[in-house]
Structure 1
Amino acid sequence: MEATEQRALTRRDLLAETWLVLGVSLGASAIWSALSLVRKLSAEAPLGQQTTAMNSSVTPDRPWLDLVYQLVGIGLALVPVLLAMHLLARGDVRARFAIGWDWTQPARDLVRGLGLAALVGIPGLGLYAAARALDLNTTIAAANLTDVWWAVPVLVLAAAQNAVLEEVVMVGYLFTRWSQAGWSTGRIMLSSALIRGSYHLYQGFGGFVGNAVMGLLFGWLYTRTRRVGPLVVAHTVLDVVAFVGYALLRDRLTWL
């Protein structure tokens, strides 16, 4: 039986593929996030007086089942990452090396990621405080699991899942595919950053602006290094500090 020759992907194929990947992942999140913002803006209470709860318990009265829910949710959220890498590997079996999602430079990725987290974290906290003061953002309750032994490990896993999903798909995958489709670097960076900001609209306008700026910075760094590894490290650290820090300090710091 003769093997059929695989047709090269056209520009239209590449763009359709990226929108489909976004449609089953962060693009869909952007749509739901925009609707969430509309719902909050049309509520009686001002945006600054509303609270957005994240990482909440599903069955708080049954901790063992709640743990299963949390772990399954984290696992399923990573499926788009596997899909994106699978699609990239069809044209290049070394795709994960091409985008820097590998273990060839662990020490360098770690150091760069930690430095990037420090660079982004402090201004980000200031932007969040300013947006709340101006009634442009909700209060973010970043961790709402019940008092169980597995709360912190699950929050760390959730932080890592967010980082891997966003950086591999929004940067490694999209930058590769859109570049292959002939888009300019500036257009790629801006489009990726705006989508990143859009799926944080559920937090308010501050969440949109902060994450869009972060997306521009991360995108620029990726064009210089071609490695998503440091971006994943930085994003994980930022979310771990936000999730675990909130869980540990919410009863002690009233301004959180």
Structure 2
Amino acid sequence: MTTTAPGDATPADPRRTGATGGSTVTSPPDEDARPPFAPPPGPRAVRRRLTAEIWIVLGLSLGRSGVYAVVAILDRLTREESLGSQTATLNPSRSPRPWLDLTYQLLSIGFALVPVALALYLLSANGRSAVRRIGLDGTRPWRDLGVGAGLAALIGIPGLGLYAVGRLLGITVEVQAAALNAAWWTVPVLVLSALQNALLEEVIAVGYLMERLRDLRWSGPTIVVASALLRGSYHLYQGWGAFAGNVVMGLLFAEYYRRRRRVMPLVVAHTLMDVFVFVGYALVPDEWRDALLLS
């Protein structure tokens, strides 16, 4: 029998040696030893997650604007003054001090684009480029510019006529498209505001929403109508005429995206229309606006 001197023995591992007879027992499983990959979620779990994601993105952006617009139109309709005699101001001045007003304007534009970044990030979760997925890239600049200009004319010119009719019928409020104090940066900020509106609305209401509803297996016509109604909802604060006009615009833009899967021409069109309205309103004399029923 071999003996071991005191102090030379290696302590037995209690996880491997039994209490008697030195028999070997199975060690308890390691808590960190898990399968390297979890099983993929089922279709129902995927649908729940996508649905929750859509509500979160909309709740941070255009859905929130839509809820506020519904409350705003209820407020307007329950006032003593008629809807046609009320006013909605876009791009208001935020401070009488020019440098501080400019700071507020740029911060507002920058933070308004955060939901756009979030939507693009979520669309790229599978590793595919989100800007390529929804056609927001610059691979066809001249074609996108031409199509965008055509869409701007197709929507913008009748849109001005619809606004004038709405004003005559008293179902559209007076929209003051620009109320910034005159400064060297007024026109550049209005152009940036137009681009911000275009990116926010076209990326989320068209590109993101339509892609996600497509992932949820909605039918094409239903997706187009949902996108158009969302666009109309957050314009309700301007009255029923603006709601109807933006639903029509939404139907056209959403159908174009459904067929072409490209959102850049829509961004171009929306930017051109808003630049024309914002900058034009700021530069056109008051008497001209009155003659054109724009004020």
Indicate the TM-score class for this superposition, using the shorter chain for normalisation: over 0.9
Match of 2:186 in 1: 151
How far apart, in 1, do the equivalents of 2:247 and 2:40 lie? Answer: 36
How far 1:251 sits from its partner (Å)? 2.0
How far apart, in 2, do the equivalents of 1:44 and 1:157 lie? Answer: 37
Match of 1:89 in 2: 124
Match of 1:57 in 2: 93
1:130-145 to 2 correspondence within 5 Å? Answer: 130-145=165-180
C-alpha RMSD of matched pairs (Å): 1.4
How far 1:4 sits from its partner (Å)? 5.1
1:155-174 to 2 correspondence within 5 Å? Answer: 155-174=190-209
Larger Rg: 2
Q: What are the ranges of 5 or more consecutive residues in structure 2 without an aligned counterpart?
A: 1-31
Q: 2:214 matched to 1:193?
A: no
Whichever residue aligns with residue 76 of structure 1, its letter is F
How far apart, in 2, do the equivalents of 1:163 and 1:233 lie? Answer: 8
Whichever residue aligns with residue 116 of structure 1, its letter is L
Q: 2:161 matched to 1:121?
A: no
Look up the SS of the partner of 1:243 in the other structure.
helix
Q: 2:108 matched to 1:73?
A: yes
Q: 2:35 matched to 1:10?
A: no
Look up the SS of the partner of 1:90 in the other structure.
coil
Q: 2:66 matched to 1:30?
A: yes
Q: Percent of counterpart pairs with the same letter?
A: 55
Whichever residue aligns with residue 160 of structure 1, its letter is L
Q: What are the ranges of 5 or more consecutive residues in structure 1 without an aligned counterpart?
A: none
Residue by residue over 1:189-214, the C-alpha shift from the partner in whole angstroms, topping out at 9 and shown as x without a partner, is 11111011000001000111101110
Match of 1:110 in 2: 145
How far apart, in 1, do the equivalents of 2:284 and 2:79 lie? Answer: 29
How far 1:5 sits from its partner (Å)? 4.5
Residue by residue over 1:44-63, the C-alpha shift from the partner in whole angstroms, topping out at 9 and shown as x without a partner, is 11011111111000102x11
How far 1:123 sits from its partner (Å)? 0.7
Match of 2:14 in 1: none
1:208-227 to 2 correspondence within 5 Å? Answer: 208-227=243-262
Distance 1:250 1:51, change over 3 A: farther
Q: Which has the higher helix share?
A: 1
Q: Which has the higher contact order (CA 8 A, sep 6+)?
A: 1
Asked whether the 8 Å contact 1:47–1:138 carries over to 2, the reply is yes
How far 1:7 sits from its partner (Å)? 4.4
Whichever residue aligns with residue 79 of structure 2, its letter is A
Q: Which moved more, 1:89-98 or 1:114-123?
A: 89-98
How far 1:96 sits from its partner (Å)? 1.4
How far 1:238 sits from its partner (Å)? 0.5
How far apart, in 1, do the equivalents of 2:253 and 2:115 lie? Answer: 20
